[in-house]
Amino acid sequence: MPARDHCGVVGVAVPGKGAAPFLYRGLRALQHRGQESAGIATTSHGKLSIRKGMGLVHEVFVQETLDALRGSTGIGHVRYPTTGSTDLENAQPLALRLRGEEAAIAVNGDLVNFERTRRRLQAQGVELLGNADTETMGQMIALEYSRSRDLEAAIRRARWELIGGYASVMLVGTRMVAFRDPLGIRPLSVGTLNGGHCVASESVAIELMGGETLREVAPGEILIFDKDGEMHSASMGATGETAHCMFEWVYFSRPDSTLGGKDVYAVRSRIGERLARESPVESDLVIPVPDSSRPQALGFSSASGIPYAEGLIKNRFVERTFILPDQKRREAEVRVKLHPVPGLLKGKRIVLLDDSIVRGTTLKEIVSMVRAAGALRVDVRIGCPPIVAPCYFGVDMKQRKELVAYGRTEEEVAQVIGADSVHYLSLPGLVESIGLASDQLCLGCLSGKYPLEVPEERQRFQRTLGEF
Ligand code: SF4
């Protein structure tokens, strides 16, 4: 079962229209990327309005709240915390001031040099209130802006202190700004909307706001939108190298999004087909772990000729299992969330297809459920190579000891989760299914080789690991 989602961002500049309803629709389209908190900031004549709260987008924003958000330019955020604690203080957008101008920032991603950058800011007398990367990023840009009053130059200079994977949106006075890390680790697309422009973590959010996707924001690109929605593009100095997160195609992004010019749904189908060729199995039914593994399971079924069936039914009204405080309750919650169809599974050999395994705890529960429903065999196929190393660029996989594949063979993983067999997609299989070259992708959590040096790995994330 997959890692937690990270975050999603949107930004709009639509002259003559209120920004908030567009942002609301965009955030709802990105709800899968973060369910802990949601927030919107808008600006009208340089005056900032900001509303945020804990919960899902439709829980945080009722009509009254949206009506209070004035102005035709704004940004929004849905959050699953990857760093920083899980409270309202760290919900985004965060308000700040840039040389007297009212401003706000929202980020999807993590900085790898967070501690060092914080110390540098504190040494300059900057007061930091929370403990999230977003505040650090915003304050670093504010510091640079205080020196020049040139926003583009401030972001370009701050970039040298902001090392990591991020896609950020800001409001500064009447302007909306969007920028993406120089390797394009985290996704960000730009589109036209209602005579102006918009940006979003995924193309599907642009389309659901009523816009048209133009392209992806280039790695290291800074886009500045004025109050009339006009777009100005600049670069913070990228090298042309990229390291797009492979996990966006594997699991995070919606299947109806397009990333790196590749349809996510088509990539997932190819993954399933490839997996069927790499790890064939004699079986009666292919069953996906819903929802994210369906295209892979359909691909597996068409390549293997084994019939596909929806053998696990998801209760759509149970969400956010991660907020439960202990493992036992989270496991019990899996049983509320997913239930097998006994008539389909009884007496059958089952190929259970999941997009990825991170900790393995949820999949263990599912395998046991499928067996209890009468399956004769449960052969697990995983649409991603083993995740053996942490992510430092915005995904909640921080400690090696939590990763079931770390230090284990496929046979040992099968034992842990109680399956008859487990086979993962190969690395070449993944790269070829995505359709980009391996050196255009971040594969850090699969190989332990990261596209950026991670100076704070030990201090920040691995403290509790004796064996590291
Ligand atoms: S380490 Fe893994 S999850 Fe993190 S950005 Fe790289 S590919 Fe994505």
pLDDT for residue 161 is more than 70? yes
Residue 198 and residue 67 share a domain: yes
Residue 232 and residue 281 share a domain: no
Q: Quote the CA–CA distance of 200 and 28 in Å, as a whole number.
A: 12
CATH of the domain at 146: 3.60.20.10
Paired sense of beta strands 349-354 and 377-382, if any = parallel
**Closest CA relative to residue 139, chosen from 173, 166, 108, 105:** 105
Copy the structure tokens of residue 239: 């090298």
pLDDT for residue 465 is more than 60? no
Residue 192 and residue 299 share a domain: no
Q: What is the reported pLDDT for 52?
A: 95
Please indicate whether residue 375 or residue 132 has the higher confidence score (pLDDT).
375
Residue 262 and residue 238 share a domain: no
Q: Which atom of ligand 1 is nearest to the CA of 165?
A: 5
> Span 207-225, mean pLDDT?
97
CA of 392 to the centre of ligand 1 (A): 7
Phi then psi for residue 350, to 5 deg, are: -115, 135
Q: Quote the CA–CA distance of 395 and 339 in Å, as a whole number.
A: 28
Residue nearest to atom 2 of ligand 1 (CA): 445
pLDDT for residue 410 is more than 90? yes
pLDDT for residue 457 is more than 50? yes
Residue nearest to atom 5 of ligand 1 (CA): 245
Residue 456 is assigned to a structural domain of this protein = no
The answer to whether 84 and 460 have CB atoms below 8 angstroms apart is: no
End-to-end CA, the chain: 24
Residue 271 and residue 232 share a domain: no
Q: What is the reported pLDDT for 80?
A: 81
In tens, the pLDDT along 304-340 reads 999 999 999 998 776 554 444 456 666 777 888 899 9
Domain finish residue from 217, 242, 267:
242
Q: What is the reported pLDDT for 197?
A: 98
Residue 249 is assigned to a structural domain of this protein = no
Residue 263 and residue 227 share a domain: no
Residue 279 and residue 221 share a domain: no
With a 6 A CB cut-off, is 454 part of the ligand 1 pocket? no
Residue 125 and residue 69 share a domain: yes
Q: For the chain, give the mean pLDDT.
A: 91
Copy the structure tokens of residue 424: 């993962």
Please indicate whether residue 381 or residue 81 has the higher confidence score (pLDDT).
381
Q: Which atom of ligand 1 is nearest to the CA of 451?
A: 6
Copy the structure tokens of residue 63: 């009509």
CA of 294 to the centre of ligand 1 (A): 22
Residue 212 and residue 289 share a domain: no
CA of 245 to the centre of ligand 1 (A): 5
Residue 233 and residue 145 share a domain: yes
Q: What is the reported pLDDT for 401?
A: 86
Residue nearest to atom 8 of ligand 1 (CA): 245
Q: Quote the CA–CA distance of 296 and 140 in Å, as a whole number.
A: 42
Count CB-CB contacts under 10 A for residue 416: 16
Of all residues in the chain, the percent with pLDDT exceeding 70 is 92
Q: List active site positions.
A: 7
Q: Which atom of ligand 1 is nearest to the CA of 186?
A: 5
Radius of gyration of the chain (CA): 22
Phi then psi for residue 14, to 5 deg, are: -125, 95
pTM above 0.75, yes or no: yes
With a 6 A CB cut-off, is 395 part of the ligand 1 pocket? yes
Interacting residues of 195 by C-beta distance below 8 A, sequence separation 6+: 14, 15, 16, 229
With a 6 A CB cut-off, is 166 part of the ligand 1 pocket? no
Residue 111 to residues 81, 137, 160, 182, 193: CA-CA distances in angstroms?
Answer: 13, 8, 12, 13, 31
> Span 350-367, mean pLDDT?
95
Q: Quote the CA–CA distance of 288 and 187 in Å, as a whole number.
A: 26
pLDDT for residue 301 is more than 60? yes
Domains identified in the chain, total number:
2
| Alpha helices, DSSP H, located in 46-167 | 57-60, 63-67, 114-123, 133-148, 151-158
- Per DSSP, what are the bridge partners of residue 223? 178, 233
Copy the structure tokens of residue 11: 């930004």
| Element spanning 353, H or E | strand 349-354
> Span 7-22, mean pLDDT?
96
In tens, the pLDDT along 23-54 reads 999 999 999 999 889 999 999 999 999 999 99
pLDDT for residue 220 is more than 90? yes
In tens, the pLDDT along 413-442 reads 999 999 999 999 999 999 999 999 999 999
Residue 448 is assigned to a structural domain of this protein = no
With a 6 A CB cut-off, is 391 part of the ligand 1 pocket? yes
In tens, the pLDDT along 85-122 reads 567 877 899 999 999 999 999 999 999 998 899 999 99
CA of 246 to the centre of ligand 1 (A): 6
| Element spanning 334, H or E | helix 327-337
Of all residues in the chain, the percent with pLDDT exceeding 90 is 80
CA of 394 to the centre of ligand 1 (A): 8
CATH of the domain at 404: 3.40.50.2020
Residue nearest to atom 4 of ligand 1 (CA): 391
Interacting residues of 273 by C-beta distance below 8 A, sequence separation 6+: 299, 300, 302, 303
Residue 333 and residue 216 share a domain: no
- Per DSSP, what are the bridge partners of residue 300? none
Q: What is the reported pLDDT for 324?
A: 47
Q: Quote the CA–CA distance of 241 and 372 in Å, as a whole number.
A: 49
**Closest CA relative to residue 304, chosen from 268, 278, 284, 277:** 277
Q: What is the DSSP letter of 307?
A: P
With a 6 A CB cut-off, is 187 part of the ligand 1 pocket? no
Structural domain of 416: 258-436
- Listed in order, strand segments (DSSP E) in 15-113 are 37-44, 47-54, 73-79, 94-98, 101-111
User: Which three-class secondary structure state does DSSP give residue 282?
Assistant: coil
Q: What is the reported pLDDT for 369?
A: 95
Largest Cα separation within the chain, whole Å, is 72
Q: What is the reported pLDDT for 468?
A: 25
In tens, the pLDDT along 376-402 reads 999 999 999 999 999 999 888 878 888
Residue 60 is assigned to a structural domain of this protein = yes
Residue 293 and residue 184 share a domain: no
Residue 457 is assigned to a structural domain of this protein = no
